[in-house]
Chains A and B, each alone.
Chain A
Amino acid sequence: MELGPIWRALMRNKASYVLIALQIAVTMAIMVNAVGIIQERSQQMARPSGVDEENIFYLSSNIFDPDADFEAQIEADLDAIRSFPGVHNAVMSNTVPLQGGGWSEGITLEPDPDLDSTGVAIYFSDEHGIDTFGVNLIAGRNFSANEVNWHDYESDAWPPIAIVTRAMAEELFPDLSVDQTLGKTVYIHDTKPVTIIGITERMQAAWNSWSGVERSMLVPVKRGGAYARYVIRAEPGYRDEIMPQIEEMLASMTDNRIIRGMETMQQTRQESYLLDSSMVKLLLFIVTVLTAITGLGIAGLASFSVARRTKQIGTRRALGATRPAILRHFMLENFVITSVGVAGGAILAVAINMWMVNAFGLQRMAWYLVPVAMAALWLVGQVAVYGPARRATMVSPALATRSV
């Protein structure tokens, strides 16, 4: 191989090669860390919410006449919505997954408020909740109509039964199977007993960045008054058509309220992850532009060095070097520079990642990103240097015989 002469040639003009190697190193550090963040965010965004996202939408009814009969109005609204053509089912609840606002409680295994509790997101629901959200009941049973009661605002009572997610069941009883967890009694709101009658496969909480996002609980309580939120699941394909119709119907049922906050579950997901998805796009953009700049920098430097060494190339050609040999010289030279760069880049990337994990609580990046980025930069370098190297091969051997 010709590594010896290449290395000695490089040493004759160290500074600009050191700089390009440095540039490659910093580029790689940014690339690896940015892709690490992109991976982390993408994984978060890919988590399913557990509900029928395509067909669910929701809205709020806000009755502003303080003397209205809220409960009667809500019952009438729900009856009207459920019998509306194109509606699969509907329920009054406090929130939907990923919505951002919700209610949480601590659950303990004993009726003792001093014990450490497990946080859980509460969904108020009735017997239609499971079907409306489209969650999958993997054990136990649904609420029956006679178990659902209106919330009494003057008391702090809680219903004696609940349906929890599998993640919640496993958090409370890590050693028991799902079926063994059924029928267990836990305590909510300090001391109120609750028996688990059903377990759902998955239903996320309203807060996507909460560590307990997979822990939620449906309770058989109708909790609404002047303000009520209806969650509606349309028959597949009917959602967009019936949204304005339902809004219009509800608005026309009584003139002492406004309907607001109508939104689809898909919009909610988008809004919930807007910061993450935008961060992903921003970082992708940065990595792309950065790689392009570094590639152009390599190409620019190579073309300078080809121009500067025209005479030497001519001499080599005159002494019998073939065109492929010249091409190989520049390609190999770039490979050497890039190798030095990516070696430094690997160290820098890991150092920066360790610092970011400390400073910002980010996840550690996957180890394989380092070799992948190395390979990518080797490739970028080779592609960038190919043009100038080709030009070098065009230098005529006769050039060596001319003087300045």
Chain B
Amino acid sequence: MFRYYLKLGLFSIRKNPVLSSLMVAAIAVGIGAFMTIINIDYVMSGNPIPHRSDVLYHVQVDSWSPNDAYEDPDLPPEQVTYLDGVALWSAGEARRQVLSYKTTRVVQPQAQGERPFSVQSRSTTADFFAMFDTPFLFGGGWDKAADDGEEYVVVINKEINERVFGGDNPVGESLVMNGKGYRVTGVMDTWEPMPKFYDINNGPFEAVEEVFFPFSVSIANELSSSGNTSCWKAAEGGWDGRLASECIWLQLWVELHGESERQDYLAFLDAYAESQKALGRFPRPLNNRLNNVMEWMDDREVVAKDVNVLLGIAFMFLIVCLLNTIGLLLAKVARRAGDISLRRALGASRRAVFSQYIVEAGIIGLCGGLLGVGMTWLGLQGIKGLYGDLDFIARLVTMDWPIIFAAIVLAIGAALAAALYPTWRACGVHPASQLKAL
């Protein structure tokens, strides 16, 4: 029977080519618009490090001003001061801890004729690589001894390795940055966490830094941050003034396994805050936070407000497209009341009529869904074209199988849902009621 209904459905669709294509197009456009935005939202709200997101915690201690909270409603600062960062990092109370900030460096290739170029770099501590499970092409990170000994060591990414060392294994070789030689300990393979969770406040979709070197070395060289720095109290002059200030510019992450370790670490943070209060710092009430990766993404509202607005609009758009389809199907059924009552009079059951019309709607849904996937792809290309100058957008507009599958399922589901009422109405046509002449 299914094949027969399929035949009937196709026949009926062919009989009204313009209206049928209008229905298919409406579903396709609705699905395309909705899935384009869903896709962007899905990538933006994705888990950047699924296998470790539950054990990595972002640390916040409230060192802010007595007058105002860092951010309403009463949120602690999103970064830490040098004083607190170093104290908490040195305490080593968690399984692992990493303290870091972003800074800009100039790489001077030693080969003849190569011009120096600037790189985005991250000054960080030894645990960075193990904690965030960064992939390595050659070698690896450095150890705590290198942090403590202010050793000039460096981890570079694949592109820098290509550019400076021609892609060979450079471990042990020297990379010159701003006139100082750094021993290469490893080459990082492609690593693109989306969002860039470990440094949200300097752009959640920025590229990962190209070069990593020890925090202790950058402090000794007085390298200031190229990321955000905020102060509630004026800093004294000079580098020492900066280090002793209440300005926040460092990101601190710790690794903790399980709720009990989290509670212990929170207790440790509270005790630390109390000890600072005793020294006359931390004028605000205790307000320390530990958020794991996904909690932190939510807290920072990584998904842009515009995307949420667009998501709502695209959803309503889909509704309009479906209303359009329901209306047209209904009109079609009303027009074919004669056919239906004839079939019913000749013995077709309500169920048979129902099957026939639902198959027809299914075909329209499937066509709409397939076309909708194409529309989604077009939509993403359009978005890429529109925002082309922002390279992070290019990283947002990838399309994967789950999304394609979801688009098709959504389209068929939507078309079937849209067909339910008209089909039910079709079943309600009385046998022979429409056969008499007017």
Contact = CB atoms under 8 A, between A and B. Distances in A.
State whether these chains interact: yes
Interface of A: 13, 15-16, 19-20, 22-23, 26-27, 29-30, 33-34, 37, 62, 64-67, 113-114, 116, 152-157, 189-190, 258, 260, 270-271, 274-275, 278-279, 281-283, 285-286, 289-290, 293-294, 296-297, 300-301, 303-305, 307-308, 311, 352, 356, 359-362, 403-404
Interface in B331-349: 331-332, 334-335, 338
Contact of B67 (A19, A114, A278, A285): A114
Contact of A26 (B67, B106, B320): B320
Contacts of A361: 305
Given A308-B335, A404-B437, 15 more contacts: A19-B323, A19-B330, A29-B316, A64-B108, A66-B178, A113-B234, A114-B67, A153-B237, A156-B234, A270-B389, A274-B389, A275-B304, A279-B310, A286-B317, A297-B323
Given A26-B323, A258-B115, A296 B22 contact: yes
B390 interface: yes
B46 interface: no
Interface in B96-140: 104, 106, 108, 115-118
B19 interface: yes
B402 to A, nearest CB: 24
- Which one of A114, A286, A356 has the highest number of Cβ atoms from chain B below 10 Å of its Cβ? A286
Contact of B234 (A190, A278, A311): A190
A27 B323 CA distance: 11
Contacts of A294: 320, 324
Nearest to B178: A64
A203 B434 CA distance: 76
Interface of B: 18-19, 22, 25-26, 29, 33, 66-67, 104, 106, 108, 115-118, 177-179, 233-239, 241, 304-306, 308-310, 312-314, 316-317, 319-321, 323-324, 326-328, 330-332, 334-335, 338, 382-383, 386-387, 389-390, 421, 425, 435, 437-438
Nearest to B337: A308
Contacts of B237: 152-157
B334 A23 contact: no
A282 B237 CA distance: 48
A161 to B, nearest CB: 19
A33 B316 CA distance: 12
A67 B104 CA distance: 18
A360 B238 contact: no
The 8 closest A-B pairs by CB, nearest first: A304-B331, A64-B106, A403-B437, A19-B327, A23-B323, A297-B324, A156-B237, A155-B237
Contacts of A296: 22, 26, 324
Contacts of A283: 313
Contacts of B238: 153-155
A20 to B, nearest CB: 5
- Which one of B179, B323, B328 has the highest number of Cβ atoms from chain A below 10 Å of its Cβ? B323
Contact of B313 (A30, A305, A404): A30
Contacts of B335: 304, 307-308
Contacts of A114: 66-67
B316 A26 contact: yes
A33 B313 CA distance: 9
Contacts of A404: 338, 435, 437-438
A362 B313 CA distance: 14
Contact of A37 (B234, B309, B386): B309
Contacts of B334: 13, 16, 304, 308
A236 B30 CA distance: 48
B107 to A, nearest CB: 9
A293 B321 contact: yes
16 contacts: A16-B330, A19-B323, A20-B323, A34-B313, A62-B118, A154-B238, A156-B237, A278-B387, A290-B317, A297-B26, A297-B323, A301-B328, A356-B309, A359-B308, A360-B308, A361-B305
A66 B179 contact: yes
B233 A190 contact: yes
A16 B327 contact: yes
B438 A403 contact: yes
B423 to A, nearest CB: 13
A297 B328 contact: yes
Contact of B387 (A19, A275, A286, A301): A275
Contacts of B331: 16, 300-301, 304-305, 308
A23 B322 CA distance: 9
Contacts of B177: 64
Contacts of A307: 335
A19 B326 contact: yes
A300 B19 contact: yes
A352 B335 CA distance: 36
B328 A62 contact: no
B430 to A, nearest CB: 16
Given A15-B425, A16-B330, A286-B317, A189 B234 contact: yes
B286 to A, nearest CB: 22
Contact of A279 (B306, B317, B332, B438): B306
Contact of B323 (A22, A65, A189, A362): A22
Given A16-B327, A64-B179, A293 B386 contact: no
Contacts of A362: 309
A157 B238 CA distance: 11
Contacts of A62: 104, 106, 118
B386 A282 contact: yes
Given A66-B179, A155-B238, A189-B234, A271 B328 contact: no
Nearest to B338: A404
A41 to B, nearest CB: 10
- Which one of B19, B115, B338 has the highest number of Cβ atoms from chain A below 10 Å of its Cβ? B19
Contacts of B327: 16, 19-20, 23, 297, 300-301
Nearest to A403: B437
Contact of B389 (A65, A260, A271, A403): A271
Contacts of B312: 352, 356
Nearest to A30: B316
A303 B335 CA distance: 11
A304 B19 contact: yes
Nearest to B331: A304
Contact of B332 (A26, A64, A153, A304): A304
